[in-house]
Structure 1
Amino acid sequence: MGQQSQFAPDYRDSPAPLFQQVIADDPVAAPPILREYSEIDIPVARVPRDQYRSIDFAALEMERLWPRVWQLACREEQIPEVGDYVLYESPGASLIIMRSGPDDIKAFYNSCLHRGMRLCAEDSSVRKLTCPFHGFTWNLDGKLAHVPARWDFPDMRDDAMNLPEARVERWQGFVFINRDPAAPPLQAYLGHLPAHFADWSYGDRYLATVMRKTIDANWKTCIEGFVESYHLAGIHAQALPFGGDASTQYDVWPDDPHVSRFLEPTGVMSDQLPVQLSEQQILDAALSAVFVGAQVPELEAGTKARHYMAAGMRAAMGAADGVDYSTLSDAEAADAIQYSLFPNIIIFRSLGYPYVYRFLPVRDDPNRATFEFMIFKPKPADGYIPEVELVDLGEGDSFAGAGILPPWLGEIYDQDVTGLRMCQQGLRDGGDADILYSAYQEVRIRHLHQTLDRYLSDDPTDAPGRR
């Protein structure tokens, strides 16, 4: 074992400090879960590029993956009253996520049992579900309520006409569905998430805004672009002075097929820069990127750029949220603490990143996916939660121009969209050579494909946690 092996692979060869070294002298210490490290070898070094571009492979995912995994369908606050529902267009199935009782949520397949008509066309609130074709009607619990000209269906049994349902389970205000009755319970599927978010509960937050954009890239290309910091030098070069790419810690747990994370420090220069920067130069670069043209203050002797930035984030977000964040650790205040939940969810545990991402494949086109960027805010003391603001970004619309994110951050996501489109173009048109993954910085991608392979196996019992 090498000298660094407790917190990095033995073969790591970089002058950049490790994440654990970065946080060791933070004035406000990181909690224990951020001082953990888990490294495993995942022998998925390469995959065929058809996994990103093939209609046949996408069809295999539609058959074996999406019907068997827990999927984030909506938030509880999106359906606050009995009769409220939202549509979740799951890959391969349209589902009505309905609050059928004060504390009961159901997921009905969005199809009439008479002639198959879609029951619902948009999010709404109803007292009963009525088919717009012939008027078949169901109660909010899915039981048949009315059949026009009932006499003309002599063989129909009312008790056999309940609307088919998918499984529904909840965690911290998130509503998940699963179409497979043999899948493990959600709590087991979530792996490390419940423990790691026990004191960072999204149940204390509400979904404020969703920015939605169709990206010209496979859903896996998309999520893989966000689970590693290795691409910083190529896609976000402006962040090299302070982005901490080479200091990012990647954690994959041997007993957790669905969850992985990275811990990316802020205020740490990249090892890709040819010169060594002072703490003042790091701060200058960071604040100049965020506040264009603003005067950057001089650091006091012995103060690190990241510590100044963490204090600033605590103050700024505290004022915006009306919450006292003074005791929050520097890591939680400033760094990107990001978890992924297989197959298509990214969730942050950071003050400066109150975000969750969802990536959904576009039906019948493996070269496109829908990116849903969710922004959360603390629940107000008076309990009033406004409706979700939905911002659809068209083909020519940018994140920077939407007016939701700060301009500098919108630019980051616009760079990602461009990079993902170009990556997919290369995957689609670049021949048949396999795709290669690095051993450590892309270990979360290896982990994703290892789990994907288990779900796509010819043997159904290979999927994790089958009952």
Structure 2
Amino acid sequence: MTSRADIPDRMFKIRDDFIPQERYISREFAELEKRKIWHKVWQVACREEDVSAVGDYSVYDITDQSVIVVRAGKNDIRAFHNVCPHRGRKLLEGQGKINKFHCGFHAWQWNLNGDNIRVLDQEDWQGCNDMNPEDVCLTAVRTATWGGFVFVSLDPDGESFEEFIDPVPQYVDCLELDKMTFAWALTVNLDANWKVAQEAFMESYHVWGTHPQFIVNIDEKNASTGMGRHGKHFYFYERPVGAPSRRLNKPVPDDVVTGFSAFLQSFYEQVGDENGNGQMTARSIKAAQKALETVPRDTPFPDYITIAVEAMKKKADEVGAPFPMPTAQQKADMGVDWNVFPNLGLVMSFDGCLIFRARPRGDDPNHCYLDIWSVLCWADNECPGVRRAHIDNWRDEEQKKLIPSLLIQDTGNIEFVQKGMHSLGLKGLRPNPVQERQISNFHKVINDYLLK
């Protein structure tokens, strides 16, 4: 078993402007992460809507562990290790609905509370130790909910969820994530370490190089910071939204309203699915654009954004959809992006959120799953249907069509970064200490867990 002593001291030397690349490619480091992070920390297993009715279950696999989340009662979400206590068979996969747990090997059964209700020929164990009811029930896993997410912790004696999640709710609850539900959910196989994938969505420093189509309508000047074990980044908005990036050396035009409408259209076309739903609802994009058509072109910032948001809210009210209305101060404090340690990335918008959750894939640190979810403020029966897909080859032309085009730009970067981590010419990573501080803080928190 890998221990701290098996890993060179260099791999734990983190500065705001330096990260050792071995942390992304070392099997020993990945093994330590498995035991010290994934077997210990609170992590998102699913959304509450995945287990919306009694008997609904969702399986969460992380490293060599598997957990079943199940709704055992109207207000009772539980989780159990996904294993039969008889001979160790995995009980369930994927998502579905049950009225009891059943082992397909020897037909042992349990109710939704995890209590054993059948052991075939139980009398054969008469006089044997470790066959009491508590010995043959399913082993419980701690659960907590926040923002519509179901979190699990595999450590029965670990920290409380309240301690873990602080201070995220203080800043993010105004977005009312718990009122949002799926538009689509993708799982993408990537040839990269889970941290490379997760970190791709922790900063906006990459916008100029990766998403140049955006810089004509947004000044991407930003900064990021650690927030305890979590992190966020935020834009300065020194130029109004709709104006070009300062890096283009162009003046702020008199008409930025048109630029803001084009900015919204890019979310529809590049971040949304075939219906335009992604980081925000297509409904809100179209309502805002319609309202902006009659706005004087010289309307100052942020007045035209206020008009657009009011139009979004009016349309949401008309169809009966929720619509968050945080104050200006709440929006400033929230920022545009959070990473809830270790692997819950939140990229927020007016009435939706893109969610990124990277997980190790097998024991090889060069592979991961990247879950990409869109959750939105839908009215009842408004969602055209949740599209779920597992993409094992994102370069395949047919599979690539399922991924919004903006995110294709990111997935390419992620895999090329992983290849570069193995280069003999690389002497360590040099994150921007202002715009990528969230990433260095992330690694400092990883150290906190690994060195316990």
TM range (shorter): 0.7 to 0.9
Cα 1:110–1:302 change in 2 (3 A) is: same
* 1:315 alignment counterpart: 311
Q: Could you tell me which residue of structure 2 aligns to residue 367 of structure 1?
A: 366
Asked if 1:429 is matched to 2:390, the reply is no
Q: Distance in 2 between matches of 1:282 and 1:221?
A: 36
Answer yes or no: is 1:250 the counterpart of 2:249: no
Matched residue, 1:228: 203
**Residue 114 of structure 1 pairs with residue 108 of structure 2:** no
Q: How far apart, in 1, do the equivalents of 2:209 and 2:24 lie?
A: 21
C-alpha distance in structure 1 between counterparts of 2:418 and 2:339, whole Å = 21
Counterpart for residue 105 of structure 1: 77
Alignment of 1:86 with 2:58, yes or no, is yes
**Conserved? CA contact 1:48–1:432, under 8 Å:** no
- The correspondence of residues 81-230 of structure 1 with structure 2, limited to 5 A, is 81-154=53-126, 155=128, 156-230=131-205
Corresponding pairs, count: 406
1:419 deviates by 1.3
| Letter in structure 2 aligned against 1:365 | D
Query: Given the superposition, is the C-alpha separation of residues 198 and 231 from structure 1 closer, same or farther in structure 2, using an over 3 Å criterion?
Result: closer
Alpha-carbon contact 2:225-2:231 (below 8 Å) kept? no
CA contact (8 A) 1:233 1:240 kept: yes
Residue correspondence of structure 1 range 276-295 to structure 2 within 5 A: 276-280=251-255, 283-284=258-259, 287=262, 290=266
Tell me how far apart the structure 2 counterparts of residues 149 and 88 of structure 1 sit (CA, whole Å).
32
**Aligned-pair CA distance for 1:324:** 8.2
Residues 320, 336 of structure 1: CA spacing in aligned structure 2 closer, same or farther, 3 A cutoff?
farther
Is the CA contact (8 Å cut-off) linking 1:87 and 1:94 kept in structure 2? yes
Alpha carbons 2:100, 2:110 under 8 Å: kept: yes
8 Å CA contact retained: 2:232, 2:335: no
Q: Answer with 271-280 or 309-318: which moved more.
A: 309-318
Q: Is the 8 A contact 2:25 2:366 kept in 1?
A: yes
* Partner SS for 2:39: helix
Q: Would the aligned equivalents of 2:346 and 2:355 in 1 still touch at CA under 8 Å?
A: yes
Shift of 1:434: 1.2
Measured in 1, the distance between the counterparts of 2:413 and 2:156 equals 39
**Aligned AA for 1:142?**
G
| TM-score, normalised relative to structure 2 | 0.79
Per the alignment, residue 66 of structure 1 pairs with: 38
Q: Distance in 2 between matches of 1:345 and 1:435?
A: 23
Amino acid at match of 1:140: L
Instruction: After TM superposition, give the deviation of residue 343 of structure 1 in Å.
Output: 0.6
Q: How far apart, CA to CA, are the structure 2 residues paired with 1:53 and 1:310?
A: 47
- 1:433 deviates by 1.1
Name whichever of 114-123 and 237-246 sits farther off: 237-246
In structure 2, the gaps of 5 or more residues are 1-13, 270-288
Answer yes or no: is 1:418 the counterpart of 2:394. no
Pair 1:300-2:275 in alignment: no
Q: Which amino acid aligns with 2:377?
A: P
Structure 1 distance, partners of 2:326, 2:169, is 20
SS at match of 1:269: coil
TM-score with structure 1 length normalisation? 0.77
- Per the alignment, in what secondary structure is the counterpart of residue 23 of structure 2? helix
Q: Deviation of residue 388 (structure 1)?
A: 4.3
Question: What is the CA distance between 1:83 and its match in structure 2?
Answer: 1.7
Secondary structure of the 1:433 match is coil
Residue 163 of structure 2 aligns with an amino acid whose one-letter code is: A
Structure 2 SS opposite 1:422: helix
In percent, how many aligned pairs have the same letter? 27
Greater Cα shift, 124-133 or 278-287: 278-287
Instruction: Give distance in 1, aligned partners of 2:397 and 2:375.
Output: 20
1:364 maps to a residue whose letter is D
Q: Report the CA distance shift for 1:214/1:262 in structure 2 as closer, same or farther (over 3 A).
A: farther
Instruction: Report the CA distance shift for 1:306/1:173 in structure 2 as closer, same or farther (over 3 A).
Output: same
Partner amino acid for 2:224? Y
- 2:273 corresponding residue in structure 1: none
Amino acid at match of 1:73: A
Name stretches of at least 5 consecutive residues in structure 1 with no aligned partner: 1-41, 405-409, 461-467
Alignment-mate amino acid for residue 339 of structure 1: W
What is the letter of the counterpart of residue 204 of structure 2?
S
Alpha-carbon separation, structure 2, partners of 1:252 and 1:46: 15
Indicate conservation of the 8 Å contact 2:19/2:440, yes or no: no
> What is the rounded CA distance, in whole Å, between the counterparts of 1:264 and 1:93 in structure 2?
42
CA separation of 1:388 and 1:96: change in aligned 2, threshold 3 A:
farther
Give the whole-Å Cα distance in 1 for the aligned partners of 2:150 and 2:207: 33
- Read off the aligned partner of 2:311 and give its amino acid letter: A
Paired residue secondary structure (1:194): helix
Cα distance in 1 between the residues matched to 2:325 and 2:373: 26
CA deviation map 1:158-205 (0-9, x unaligned): 332121121111113211000112322112211122122333222222
Matched residue type, 1:449: H
| Contact 1:257 1:447 (8 Å CA) reproduced | yes
Match of 1:380 in 2: 379
* Alpha-carbon distance in structure 1 between the residues aligned to 2:335 and 2:232: 14
- Tell me, in whole angstroms, the C-alpha distance in 2 between the residues paired with 1:201 and 1:65: 28
